[in-house]
Amino acid sequence: MLLFQNITLLLVSFSIVASVLLAVTHFNCSEYRGKQLSRFAGVVLLVCLGVIQLFHFWYLQKDVRWLNSNLYMLLVYIIAPAFYFFSRDLLKVDNKIHPRLILHVLPLLVSFYLPRIYALILAFFIGTGYVLWLLKIVYELREQRKRFKLELLALAAMSLVAFLVFLLGVSIPIISASFFYTSYAMLIGLAFVVAVFTLLSFPQITQEVSEAAQASYASSTLKKVDSKALALKLQQLMEVEKLFTNENLSLSNLAEQMQLSGHQLSELINTYFEKSFSQFVREYRINAAKEMLIDEPKASVLSIGLSVGFSSQSNFYTAFSDIVGMPPGSYRKSKT
């Protein structure tokens, strides 16, 4: 039991720090440009989880007062709708604001009139409903699944954690409060580990998922343009003018150069190259880096990564290993 609590304490501490770092850094990146609702809901989600874990940390130090507060219950009920609005905006499921969206806060109002144990059970059932909704959305993206192979393993791990949280929630009447709160804290910590690992391994995952959703749900935007000619023009811009070497290259500014909308360019890349924009650009960068690693043996690996458009060493190493199957240094040695 002591080992269980020590592991939980370690995971809780990690998730508190991770929630702050992700809120400050991740949601300020270019992937969330123009996605104000996703950014706001994501930050709210992280803040709520971080504060809940802070309460759990104090609980593990034998301070139980915050777990019995209305604030704790409020945070528990905010997590699920914050997760929904974050995912809804990111996946472009529906951009319209409907009056019925107010129903997402109704459970919170009802919870204040329920005994605490039933209010907790209701919160876990609602959270499970949101997770099932997300899995349904992901299943509907199955036509895009070739673009997300390893990423799906991370989703599976996150789904497993969500399922364990659900089992924990329905077990509330038959387990001790100590086991419940300790296990809940551990599962939140594990979710943060999976999330951080996913973002480190696939730094462009949110943009890629958003583009896949857009490609799946949007009607064709290429009906009135010469798609084949545009595909050839895009290849020329990348292979001759080497636009991929610009580390600030984005879907919007590349679309502007091609006199297309961002939606049109995204659909063009998805249709003709069966890739997301970020995958498309990343592969050009990696192919150029592979040539330079062999042709320029005196150039450092970092300088090569930066010259082909990567903004940092970590992004270069992660992308190179993901596509080639080995780090750039090992690739260079294997070719000499």
Domain assignments of the chain as residue spans, ordered by start = 2-203, 218-334
Q: How many whole angstroms from its chain centre is CA 266? A: 19
The C-alpha atoms of residue 206 and residue 203 are separated, in whole angstroms, by: 8
Q: Dihedral (C-alpha) 181, 182, 188, 189: value to the nearest 10 degrees? A: 160
Q: State the chain's maximal CA–CA distance in angstroms.
A: 72
The C-alpha atoms of residue 208 and residue 300 are separated, in whole angstroms, by: 30
Q: What is the pLDDT of residue 262?
A: 77
Q: What is the pLDDT of residue 306?
A: 92
pTM: 0.65
Task: Give the architecture-level CATH label for domain 218-334.
Answer: Orthogonal Bundle (1.10)
The C-alpha atoms of residue 120 and residue 246 are separated, in whole angstroms, by: 50
Q: Dihedral (C-alpha) 138, 144, 147, 152: value to the nearest 10 degrees? A: 20
Structure tokens at 82: 């914050």
The C-alpha atoms of residue 78 and residue 100 are separated, in whole angstroms, by: 17
Q: What is the pLDDT of residue 151?
A: 55
Which residue, among 271, 279, 274, 265, has the nearest Cα to 234 in the 3D structure?
265
Which residue, among 15, 35, 16, 39, has the nearest Cα to 27 in the 3D structure?
39
Rg (CA), the chain: 23
Q: What is the pLDDT of residue 222?
A: 66
With beta carbons less than 8 A apart as the criterion, state whether 130 and 100 touch. no
The C-alpha atoms of residue 55 and residue 60 are separated, in whole angstroms, by: 9
DSSP 3-state assignment of 243? helix
Q: What is the pLDDT of residue 154?
A: 65
Q: How many whole angstroms from its chain centre is CA 105? A: 24
The dihedral region occupied by 259, where left means phi > 0, alpha psi between -120 and 50, and beta the remainder, is left
Q: 10-residue block means of pLDDT along the chain (336 residues)?
A: 82 93 76 72 91 94 85 89 79 58 74 82 83 71 54 66 82 88 91 83 66 56 76 90 89 85 80 82 92 90 92 86 88 86
Q: What is the pLDDT of residue 105?
A: 74
Q: How many whole angstroms from its chain centre is CA 282? A: 18
The C-alpha atoms of residue 217 and residue 219 are separated, in whole angstroms, by: 7
The C-alpha atoms of residue 305 and residue 285 are separated, in whole angstroms, by: 8
Q: Crossing angle for the helix pair 177-201 and 313-324, nearest 10 degrees? A: 90
Q: Where are the alpha helices (DSSP H) in the chain?
A: 2-25, 36-60, 70-90, 106-111, 116-140, 150-170, 177-201, 205-217, 227-239, 251-257, 262-273, 277-295, 301-307, 313-324, 328-334
